[in-house]
Homo-oligomer: A and B are copies of this chain.
Amino acid sequence: MKLNLTMTEKLIYQAQIYVTLRPSVLDPAGTAVQSGLQHLGYDNVEQVRIGKYIELTVSAASEHEAKEQVDRMCDRLLANTVIENYRFDLLEQQPSINK
């Protein structure tokens, strides 16, 4: 006997999201870190840019659905798209089946 789990099976994805300042936007925090590194003797360091790295898990019926949802989350809340870019990877986790 085979159970039809199509409607209840959900896939879990881990999204790894990178939010970075657009290249044209100044990054005072990055400049401060670069200056701090130079004070520690690392004068071979340049172009320090500081962004956010967000991990979250999302359950969805398909990878396509998860991708669309994470894209909307970034656009609406996680990134300020006026000054920031974002990109993300999705990693499939163990599936959870709600019987």
Contact partners of A77 in chain B: CB under 8 A: 33, 36-37, 40
Whether A49 pairs with B45 at a CB distance below 8 angstroms is no
| CB neighbours of A30 from chain B (8 A) | 54
Decide: A56 and B60 in contact? CB cutoff 8 A.
no
Asked if A24 is at the interface (CB within 8 A of a chain B CB), the reply is no
Q: What bracket does the count of chain A residues touching chain B fall in? A: 20 to 34
The answer to whether B48 touches A33, judged by C-beta atoms less than 8 angstroms apart, is no
Q: How far is the CA of A94 from the CA of B37 in the complex (A)?
A: 23
The 7 A-B pairs of least Cβ separation, nearest first, read A53-B53, A51-B53, A48-B56, A44-B59, A49-B55, A47-B57, A46-B57
On A, residues with C-beta under 8 Å from B are: 10, 14, 18-20, 30, 33-34, 36-37, 40, 42, 44-60, 69, 73, 76-78
27 CB < 8 A contacts A-B: A14-B47, A18-B53, A20-B53, A20-B55, A30-B54, A33-B54, A33-B77, A33-B78, A37-B77, A40-B73, A40-B77, A42-B69, A44-B58, A44-B59, A45-B56, A45-B58, A45-B73, A46-B56, A46-B57, A47-B56, A47-B57, A48-B55, A49-B54, A49-B56, A50-B52, A51-B54, A52-B53
